[in-house]
């Protein structure tokens, strides 16, 4: 962090600030120009608040030179992190597709979809048991019964399961039953939930909030990573913009930005990112071409009858075609 003093700053004021910084364990380097006096702070500046420092009358500007995410950032961890679940790898060259319905609805539905996506080459089965619906009157998911059905589908197909947690009261159940715990967009900044999930030592799929910046997503990951042996997969799922032609605006540039700033695997959700089944195919391919380490895609055997997100769900047949095309794009971009 760099502090630029006002030309009117007195020697006493500068010494006072330098003393405060040194008492926080920071090394202070003073650079004196003709008309400006600059103080470079070296050490762990993550505890400092630029806003609080600016309250000092003698300081003109505060410049942050270091990203505030130490655990998620690439600066201290240059190698790609790899998240491996039941033989499926994401990150560091590993690529996997998570597929399944928005919500688990019945045994027949989840088993049929699970078998189809497995046959097409999916690495994970996704399915919501606890659904964050905008309306309290909409289908809320089957809850614990839904998790049981996902477990049955895992047993049948061997696919690891991905499901969203909303309420910390189920942390124990998720730790036991679910292979990848999803934190949905609406809970990306539920900091107590993030901390608690980070204690479980399980892979966490962290979705970008509807109106959150890339840095806020990385700071949310920081909360999870502070826990014991936790692993995080980041997910771009579209953000709210002025555009109404799509449900959200899928921010494809988030993929290379996240991969430059962070070592964590990055996957993309073209289903929530666009909101329309016929946009999923092209945007999934675009995400792969842009360097995503995986995808999460809503697939339903009867999209017209789906209890949640049918308009953005693709059929197993289309999913099969998409997987073939994904393989071609991956081959094309590999050097």
Give the shortest CB-97-to-Mn ion separation in angstroms.
Answer: 16
Among residues 184, 198, 227, 270, which is the contact residue for ligand PEP, using CB under 6 A? 184
User: For ligand PEP, which residue of 154, 202, 272, 300 counts as binding (CB under 6 A)?
Assistant: 272
Query: CB under 6 A: which stretch of 17-25, 166-174, 180-188, 277-285 binds ligand PEP?
Result: 180-188
Question: What does the alpha-carbon distance between residue 185 and residue 181 come to, in Å, rounded to a whole number?
Answer: 13
Choices 83-91, 184-192, 194-202, 321-329; region in contact with ligand PEP by CB under 6 A? 184-192
Query: Judging by DSSP bridges, how do beta strands 124-126 and 96-100 pair with one another?
Result: parallel
Interface with Mn ion, residue 280, by CB under 5 A:
no
**Closest residue to bound ligand PEP by CB:** 184
SS3 of residue 138 by DSSP: coil
The smaller minimum CB distance to Mn ion, of residues 80 and 309, is found at 309
Place of tokens 């990055």: 266
Provide the terminal-to-terminal Cα distance of the chain, rounded to the nearest Å: 39
Report the residue number, 128 or 294, with the smaller CB distance to ligand PEP. 128
Q: Contact between 21 and Mn ion (CB under 5 A)?
A: no
User: Which DSSP state fits 170?
Assistant: G
Q: Does 80 bind Mn ion (CB under 5 A)?
A: no
Considering the complex, state which of residue 9 and residue 296 has its C-beta at the smaller distance from ligand PEP. Answer: 296
Q: Which of 230, 313 has the CB closer to ligand PEP? A: 313
Pick the binder of ligand PEP from 91, 128, 146, 294 (CB under 6 A): 128
Torsion of CA 186, 280, 177, 206, to 10 degrees: -40
CA-wise closest residue to 101 among 112, 90, 93, 87: 112
CA 288 – CA 84 distance, rounded (Å) = 19
Phi–psi pair at 58, nearest 5 degrees:
-85, -5
Cα 132 vs. chain centroid, distance in angstroms? 17
Looking only at residues 89 through 128 of this chain, which bind Mn ion when binding is defined by CB under 5 A? 102
- Least distance to ligand PEP, CB of residue 283, Å: 14
Strands (E), the chain: 2-5, 27-32, 37-42, 59-63, 83-85, 88-90, 96-100, 124-126, 161-164, 180-183, 203-207, 231-236, 266-268, 294-298
Write the binding mask 77 to 116 for ligand PEP: x where contact by CB under 6 A, - elsewhere. -------------------------x--------------
Task: Kindly report the backbone phi and psi dihedral angles of residue 303, in degrees, each rounded to the nearest multiple of 5, phi listed first.
Answer: -55, -35
Q: Does 237 bind ligand PEP (CB under 6 A)?
A: yes
Q: How far apart are CA 156 and CA 312, in angstroms?
A: 26
322: enclosing H helix or E strand: helix 316-333
Nearest alpha-carbon partner for 164 in 79, 103, 114, 91: 103
Considering the rule CB under 6 A, would residue 207 count as an interface residue with ligand PEP?
yes
Stretch in the footprint of ligand PEP (CB under 6 A) among 68-76, 135-143, 178-186, 285-293: 178-186
- Taking CB under 6 A as the binding criterion, the range among 69-77, 83-91, 145-153, 179-187 that sits at the site for ligand PEP is 179-187
Least Å from the CB of residue 51 to ligand PEP: 31
Name the site residues for ligand PEP (rule: CB under 6 A): 102, 128, 132, 184-186, 207, 237, 269, 272
Name the site residues for Mn ion (rule: CB under 5 A): 102, 309
């Amino acid at each position: 962090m760099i502090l630029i003093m006002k030309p009117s700053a007195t020697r006493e004021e500068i010494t006072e600030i330098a003393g405060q910084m040194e008492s926080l364990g920071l090394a202070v380097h003073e650079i004196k120009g003709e008309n400006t006096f600059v103080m470079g702070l070296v050490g762990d500046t993550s505890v400092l608040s630029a806003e609080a420092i600016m309250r000092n009358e003698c300081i003109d500007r505060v410049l942050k030179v270091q990203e505030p995410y130490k655990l998620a950032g690439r600066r201290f961890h240059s190698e790609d992190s790899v998240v491996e679940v039941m033989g499926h790898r994401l990150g560091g060259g590993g690529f996997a597709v998570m597929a399944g319905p928005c919500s688990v609805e019945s045994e027949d539905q989840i088993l049929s979809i699970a078998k189809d996506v497995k046959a097409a080459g999916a690495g994970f089965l996704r399915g919501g048991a606890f659904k964050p619906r905008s309306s309290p009157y909409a289908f809320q998911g089957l809850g614990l019964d839904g998790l049981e059905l996902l477990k049955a589908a895992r047993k049948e197909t061997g696919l690891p399961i991905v499901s969203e947690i909303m309420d910390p009261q189920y942390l124990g159940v998720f730790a036991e039953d679910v292979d990848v715990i999803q934190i949905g967009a609406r809970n990306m900044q539920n900091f107590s939930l993030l901390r608690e999930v980070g204690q479980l030592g399980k892979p966490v799929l962290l979705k970008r909030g509807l109106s959150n910046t890339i840095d806020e997503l990385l700071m949310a990951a920081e909360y999870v990573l502070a826990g014991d042996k936790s692993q995080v997969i980041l997910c771009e799922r579209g953000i709210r913009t002025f555009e109404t032609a799509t449900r959200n605006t899928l921010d494809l540039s988030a993929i290379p930005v996240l991969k430059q700033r962070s070592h964590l695997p990055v996957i993309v959700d073209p289903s929530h990112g666009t909101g329309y089944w016929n946009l999923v195919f092209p945007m999934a391919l675009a995400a792969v071409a842009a360097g995503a380490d995986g995808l999460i895609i809503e697939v339903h055997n009867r999209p017209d009858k789906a209890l949640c997100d049918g308009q953005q769900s693709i059929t197993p047949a289309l999913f099969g075609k998409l997987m073939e095309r994904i393989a071609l794009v991956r081959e094309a971009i590999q050097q």
